[in-house]
Structure 1
């Protein structure tokens, strides 16, 4: 199934130095995990999970239902009662537990990366170097915060003294379905607080003064990472007219180096889509691009008759009204549009209900600062893409969500601020 890719991408010569996936004979933990133990679901429901690269069934997994969630919530509530061991534990000891979890993930990093690739089809090296690395660093970052969350002493009028305390909100649930449904449910459920990181139709603006090859490579990392199945995918690329044709040409040349194949092979950089439903949606949008007049420069088809692999796809001549320029594709499709001036580029980039991330490629610091200030997105990358770090907040504007994850900003989402005011009496 290997397609494209030569020694130019530097992979073939270095393969032996790369970490290798482990052989998974049996997937042991397939039950729901509640109150520190694996257990069968109350209703006994199970669902199969498949390797999207081969179609082979991996295992059956216990499916948690409403009753299981209720039990998990009750267990979590008990764990944060004032008399519980967790509440009595000092802050630095909690940090040690997070560090221990990070240590265990380091220990089993090869196994966890292998399981991630088996389950999702993501190339193994991406699972190992990006997903696991990011998870471990995030745990260590917040382990350092456990004994540094504190309030303030505030000057106020008359003979009062005021201090603030930051206290935990309580039990939190992390859910990964359609965000709009969560918002509606929260609105009808005692004003539950929610933070949402939703979809995106993320614009990149490429100016003529940029490092062109850098822009091509960084944007394609954003467009094709995880086969485009990424909320931050670089899906709308606005390129200044004077460099437009060269940008398209270089993008095609760069895409030809992408290696499609077995996700477990360290040389592979492009795997399958997650399932048949997503595959069909992407192919439908690719067809719409052709039908609406965009020029298919590269890819656009499936790899093999019965697989879930889709070629990295590049369209030029894309117009703002086309479906591929408006809808979140969540697949390996790069849409390249042209612009004449900065004001036009910014206005068109912002003309979207989404506002998750954006990128600007230029060597002018003035332009970088002015354009980043004008972008209606939660993150703006300058001369880079997908530069995500545990220390920096992440979230979206508009329909791309609300609230922030990561960094110090995320702590506010999980804490309540309590004001404590004292009336002082003068003594003589």
Structure 2
């Protein structure tokens, strides 16, 4: 069994937090929804309700956008010198660090993510993302233009305005600040719609933003469902830009709504079916560890998960055997247990989806080497699952599963691997494991994806732009390029002395 702690130990584990914030955050205050409706959030460790959250709708989005519009058009935030925004963002980041344990506990309860990983990585990275873009807030400059005629010209880089931010449930903190931090640095005001499954940390961050001194109306959070609150943000006439991370299907709806309303700017980071090519010269132990991390990290609920493992025929059998050995010792259990490597899937819908894909894989003829079953008596736990003999036309090789499922696919030549790796509608990420620099360079230039990892995986960094090709979306997060998504370029031209225009 891959299970040492099966998700039924939560009663013996002290959870270091209480849920304090469950209402919408609009114009600096926590408020009930206009309708008064609430909905239950579910603890994926047990399948039981955690608390009730205000259910925002179009009317609530209208109020949040009105506050954000007023804060942008007439408030101090866009007019502060960059140094002023930087100071407040730094204070915001410090407050996150001071409350890291409480925020980590909220996300573990909400998303089933590992408490240890949240405390050590996710929440500190969220704070560092704020600091990174805070450092850019006073360094946003235009250019002086050398005009071809008797004209003086320069450009201004100005904040785009009110930004609607719609985030998914798999990385509630990291993706939130991936978008919030550059938007705040440029002087934009924001309306955030967290995933309905994972609203708790976003509401806590709203409390910290207020405490840090972020002006009222700049940071707003409307909790609720995608088809109501999310749709209202996408189609709102007073929102100047919407940024979305999530599925390709929903991304298409966001883009359609934006186009049909005020042609607002859109950036999308969407799904992936990411290839990881393992060559014959790779060390099998290293390959197994990278494949496991690339496929099982965060329960496989990762858009850049290595979900198609192309293994060269010379080490295919060795790697298959090694992966099975390691998967059988992979600890699935309560995310608050420090022994746990994999917590529960985020909710029953995702849990059922993953199990249905496992059945599809077996039906279509893939060989189930290990796993494939639920874990424990309650909660949404699934064993790490390894399939071999996976063919390119199988659904588990074509469709995004978003769960702890590894699909092994054999190849002969690197040319074949490249062609098969590119045979997908997605283009988010890819990996290559080889000792041959020529092969590594050939693959990295040949695969159509936004980020290529050579002899590593999940090698993210704040300086490194991240985004997709094809149906994995467009626009880039991370790096200084992310600022461009939240800025407009304005040209200013005046005639020179004695020019024909005077």
Q: Same fold (TM over 0.5)?
A: yes
Rounded Cα–Cα distance in structure 2 between residues aligned with 1:298 and 1:45: 44
State the Cα distance separating 1:158 from its structure 2 match. Answer: 2.4
Is residue 165 from structure 1 mapped to residue 237 from structure 2 by the alignment?
no
Q: SS of the counterpart of 2:133?
A: helix
Judge conservation of contact 1:240–1:338 (CA < 8 Å) in 2: yes
CA contact (8 A) 1:228 1:332 kept: yes
Out of 254, 261, 266, the position equivalent to 1:189 is 261
Q: How does 1:40-119 map to 2 (within 5 A)?
A: 40-81=32-73, 83-119=74-110
Which residue of structure 1 aligns with residue 397 of structure 2?
A: 325
Q: Cα distance, 1:234 vs. partner?
A: 1.0
Secondary structure at the residue paired with 1:258? coil
1:23 to 7, 13, 16: 16
CA contact (8 A) 1:21 1:110 kept: no
Q: Aligned ranges for residues 134-149 of structure 1 at < 5 Å?
A: 134-149=125-140
User: Cα offset for 1:426?
Assistant: 4.9
Measured against aligned partners, the alpha-carbon deviations of 1:8-47 in whole angstroms (never above 9, x if no partner) come to xxxxxxxxxxxx97532x3111000011110000011100
Aligned to 1:422: 494
Residue 183 of structure 1, CA deviation: 1.1
| 1:247 positional shift | 1.1
- Give yes or no for the alignment of 1:122 onto 2:122: no
Cα offset, 1:305, TM superposition: 4.2
Distance 2:16 2:363 in 1: 45
Name the stretch that deviates more: 304-313 or 293-302. 304-313
| Residue matched to 1:298 | 370
How far apart in 2 are the matches of 1:212 and 1:138? 35
- 1:29-428, aligned counterparts within 5 Å? 29-81=21-73, 83-176=74-167, 178-426=250-498
Alpha-carbon distance between aligned partners in 2 of 1:287 and 1:305, rounded to the nearest angstrom: 20
Distance in 1, matches of 2:14 and 2:415, equals 48
Using structure 2 for the length normalisation, give the TM-score.
0.79
Q: 2: distance between equivalents of 1:323 and 1:347?
A: 18
**3-state DSSP class of the match of 1:238?**
strand
| 8 Å CA contact retained: 1:134, 1:389 | no
Q: Say which SS state the counterpart of residue 194 (structure 1) adopts.
A: strand
What is the DSSP-based 3-state SS (H/G/I as helix, E as strand, rest coil) of the residue aligned with 2:162?
coil
8 Å CA contact retained: 2:347, 2:380: yes
Ranges of 4+ aligned residues in structure 1 off by more than 4 Å: none
- Equivalent residue runs for 1:8-19 within 5 Å: none
CA distance in 2, matches of 1:156, 1:361: 49
RMSD over aligned CA atoms reads 1.7
Inter-partner Cα distance in structure 1 for 2:296 and 2:60: 37
Per the alignment, in what secondary structure is the counterpart of residue 460 of structure 2? coil
User: How far is 1:131 from its partner?
Assistant: 1.6
Aligned counterparts of 1:211 and 1:36: Cα–Cα separation in 2? 54
Q: Do 1:200 and 1:232's aligned partners in 2 also have CA atoms closer than 8 Å?
A: yes
Q: Using the TM superposition, give the Cα deviation of residue 385 of structure 1 relative to its aligned residue in structure 2, in angstroms.
A: 1.0
| Structure 2 counterpart of 1:12 | none
**Matched residues in 2 for 1:115 and 1:52: separation?**
12
The CA distance in 2 between the partners of 1:40 and 1:287, in whole Å, is 43
60 and 373 in structure 1: CA distance in 2 versus 1, 3 angstrom threshold: same
Per-residue CA deviations over 1:260-308 (Å, capped at 9, x if unaligned) read 1111111111111111111111111101111111111111111134431
Distance 1:313 1:376 in 2: 27
> Size of the alignment, in residue pairs?
411
Which residue does 1:3 correspond to in 2?
A: 3
Q: Structure 1 126/248 Cα, relative in aligned 2: closer, same or farther at 3 Å?
A: same
How far, CA to CA, are the matches of 2:114 and 2:76 in structure 1?
41
Residues 198 and 41 of structure 1, relative CA distance in 2, 3 Å threshold: same
User: Residue 2 of structure 1: CA displacement?
Assistant: 7.9
The equivalent residue for 2:174 is none
How far the C-alpha of 1:313 sits from its partner, in A, is 0.3
Unaligned runs of 5+ in 1: 6-19
Matches of 1:207 and 1:154 in 2, distance apart? Answer: 50
